[in-house]
Each structure stands twice: as structure tokens, then as C-alpha cells.
Amino acid sequence: MKKKEKLTKRVLDRLAQELPEGAEVWDTDLPGYHVRGRRGWLALRVSYYNNARQRRVLTLGRYGTRTAAQAREDAREALAIVAQGGDPRAVLEEARAEAERQHQQTLRAYLDGPYTAVQNRRKDGKGTLDRIARDFPDWLDKPMGSLTRADVERWQAKAETADKPRAFQTLKRSYDALQALLAHAAERNVIPAHPLKGVRLQKPALTEEALAEQGTERRYLEPEEVGALFAGLETYQEAKRAQRRSSRAHGKAYLPDLDSVAYVDHVKPWILSMFYTGFRPGDLFGLRWEHVNLTFGTIRKVIEKTAHHQPEPMTFPVCRPLVKVLRAWHLQQGEPSAGLVFPSPVNGKRMATTAMQRPWATIRKLGGLPEGLQLYTLRHNFASRLVMAGADILTVSKLMAHSSIETTIKFYAHLAPDHKRSAVDLFAQTVHKAPAEALEATTPEMTAHG
């Protein structure tokens, strides 16, 4: 015979302590609502018959996780579904399945699951995953398809007005990473469509200072700046040598003599390599002796920035001055046949991405170069000087390892103002060198129409 009591909080608290495992107590008010004893806890349940007259049991939850009032309300709702000819267990299972589908479509689930597998195949994939998780914490548990333009606008406004506002380009890198993830999910039908397709970040208005700097972001070195750069490198070398001589003279004779080597450390050959090749810093950090052919004067390697869509190695000619530099550095390093050309002086591994910032600041100061001159200017200088020297845009694009010639055209298909003036002066000279009769022939007509 069924044991019945009204399943109030006081009764459930008592039953949780004394009801044996497997024993059941049924509610006096709601037919089918009951509890079953488990090992140290109570299962809240509803028993009913479906339309096929099959007895089914729906577990509402665990007492303690669900309160007495919540369990009673859940039981009422389940019995109401039965009264209307439905099956509450089927409804619950469908709801759970839908909840699981919704979870699989959340940013967190896709980031931790399929997209992790994709990014693990890429060089900086972990950095991309970390960036998305770090910069979009409020969106991680939202279904990807529910993201809207308003979400983006709020996110950007919040980031720009924080105690430590973030630069637009920093925000754009994070947003572009998120856009790539959403495009990937849409392409694989994980979500019906890309919810933020065409939604862009709003560029902040430029300040007067920013407007004044627009023309200096991509620039080349003036001749006197090139001289200052080389002077700074020599001063750096001499300062290091003087410091080492002093150390050896004051009790540290075990330190290597720097007066007998071509380079006091990696700094000068590294900077000259960037100056003469226009390589990005990352490609110099990853440059290996296996990539360098000193006999033929070439470097053949995969460009790291474009490796994910252009994995084939590219060949770059090396000018004679740089071949001489690399020969001396190769000899100084013991003529290795493999390994990093510029390993970390601390651990012999690849240097950190910021490893050359401090040395560059020192060289810049020693050479008297402008304080705001960036290391990356060496790359811009390489391209700009090639264009001004008359190299065709396609060649410059290949030497710069741009992913498309449009990039080269956009940023480097320009000439310095003096070079432009030379071009128009050359045109004027060709006109004035024309036959006198040709010029005279135009005069009456010009006079008649004047």
C-alpha cells in the first residue's frame, strides 16, 4: 500500500534523513507526485500514464537542488501536460535536446571544440583562441547566431571608455578574429548564417595630432637618417666593446674578447638584415641557416604571416652587402649548417617578438634618429626606395612577400615629393627640347583662341 503525506518542506527534510533507499512516499494533493529514497538524498518524481496507457516516470530533480515549492510547481505543470494529452517526459527530453543544441551553438562551445582543432593547425592558433576568449567574455555563453550589431556597438563603446581604453587597431584585431570564427561556423552549418556579416567597428574620429601623423606612418629614411642609422650601429658596437674591455680589466678576464669579432652580438647583423631585405621581424626571428644560401646569395623560406594560405617557401635574392654581413656572422657563430640565424642569447631558442625593441631604442638614440621612428620603418624604407629607384610594382610586391599586389599598390605605389618633381621637370625638359617649328606651329592657333 502506498504511503502518503503532503510533501511540504518540513516533511521532505525529515524524509531526506529517514526514507530508506527505494522506498516511496506519495503526495496527498497531487496524484502521481512522489519522492523516492536514494543513498542520502531524495529524488522528486511524477508518475503518470501516456496516451498509449504506458506508465512513465518523470524525475523532476533532487531535493536540495529543487526546493519543495519548486518541485510542487514542476509537478503541477507536468500533470497539466498529461491532462491535455501530452507527455511531460517527452517535452522535457525535447527541451533538454534543444538546450544541448543551443549550447553547442554558443561561442564557448565552438571555441573550445571544433575551432580549437582548426586553430591548432596554425602557427599562432593558440594566441587567436586566447584572444577571443579574453576579449569577448560576456558573449561566450550566448548562441553565436544571436549576436547583433547592437552587441558589437556596446562592446566597442565599453572597451573604448574603460579605465584603460584600448586602441582601435587592437580592438579590430580581436573583432577580426571573432569574425573569422563566425564565418567558419556558418560555412559548416553550425549556425544558419553569419550573424555579424557586414558589421564593422566604427573608426574613432582622428584628433588633430593623429591627423598630423597620418603622413608619417609609412615612410622611408632620408639619406641623412640612413647615415645616422649606420653611425648608431657602429657607436653601439664600440660602446659594447669598451664595456667589455673594462670588465675584462677589472676581474672578469674570463669574458670573451669582443675586439676580435666582427659583431659584439646579434643586434647589428639583425638590423642590417631587416634593412637590406625588408623582412618582417617575425621572419628574421624564425630565419634558419637552412634557409640561407651564401654561395648563391639567396634566402628561401615560408613567410610566417601568410603561411596559413601560402605554405610554399619563397626565394629572395640577398644583396652583396648583406651576404658579406651574413658570412661574417656565420663564421662568428662557428659556421653552423642548421639552426636559428639569430638565436636568443639567453637560451638559444627563438627570440620573443619584442626582443629587438630595446636594442632598437638604443640604436635610435645613439644615432640621433627621431624618437618616434619605429623599427618597422626599415621595412617601409626597403619598399619605398625600390619604388623610387624605378623597380616595378610586381617585383616590389614579391620582394615584400605581400599576399597580393593590391597591398603594394595601396601603400608603396607612390614616389617621394622630390621624385615626383623630378618627373614633371623631366616632362618639361622634353617639351622644351621639341623642334622649334613644332612649338611655333602651335603659337598662332593658341593666339587665335587666346
Residue 236 contacts residue 366 (beta carbons within 8 Å): yes
Beta strand 24-27 pairing with 33-37: antiparallel
Domain co-membership, 357 together with 427: no
Domain co-membership, 399 together with 439: no
Rounded Cα gap, residues 232 and 240, in angstroms:
12
The CATH number given to whatever domain includes residue 10 is 3.30.160.390
Q: How crowded is the C-beta side of 122, counted as CA atoms within 13 Å?
A: 17
The per-residue pLDDT for 358 is 95
Residue 214 forms part of a structural domain = no
Domain co-membership, 135 together with 82: no
pLDDT at residue 272 greater than cutoff 90:
yes
Domain co-membership, 262 together with 360: yes
Domain count for the chain, please give it: 4
Residue 196 forms part of a structural domain = yes
Domain co-membership, 246 together with 380: yes
pLDDT at residue 232 greater than cutoff 90:
yes
Positive or negative: CA dihedral 83, 86, 92, 98: negative
Helices 405-412 and 393-400: crossing angle, nearest 10°?
110
The CATH number given to whatever domain includes residue 311 is 1.10.443.10
The per-residue pLDDT for 418 is 63
| pLDDT tens by residue, 196-207 | 999 999 987 655
Residue 217 forms part of a structural domain = no
Domain co-membership, 46 together with 112: no
More confident position, 90 or 302: 302
pLDDT band at 322 (very low <50, low <70, confident <90, very high): very high
Domain containing 428 equals 418-448
292: β partners: 299
Instruction: Region of 314 please: left (phi>0), alpha (psi -120 to 50) or beta.
Output: beta
As a whole number, mean pLDDT of residues 345-362 equals 93
Domain co-membership, 85 together with 112: no
| pLDDT tens by residue, 156-194 | 999 888 888 888 888 999 999 999 999 999 998 888 899
More confident position, 214 or 426: 426
Question: CA distances (Å), 281 to each of 284, 287, 320, 351, 358, in order?
Answer: 5, 10, 21, 10, 14
pLDDT band at 433 (very low <50, low <70, confident <90, very high): low
Residue 219 forms part of a structural domain = no
Q: For 104-113, 117-126, 211-220, 246-255, which range has the lowest pLDDT when averaged over its residues?
A: 211-220
Residue 363 forms part of a structural domain = yes
The per-residue pLDDT for 189 is 87
Domain co-membership, 195 together with 89: no
Q: How crowded is the C-beta side of 341, counted as CA atoms within 13 Å?
A: 29
| pLDDT tens by residue, 42-89 | 999 999 998 888 898 999 999 999 999 999 998 999 999 888 888 888
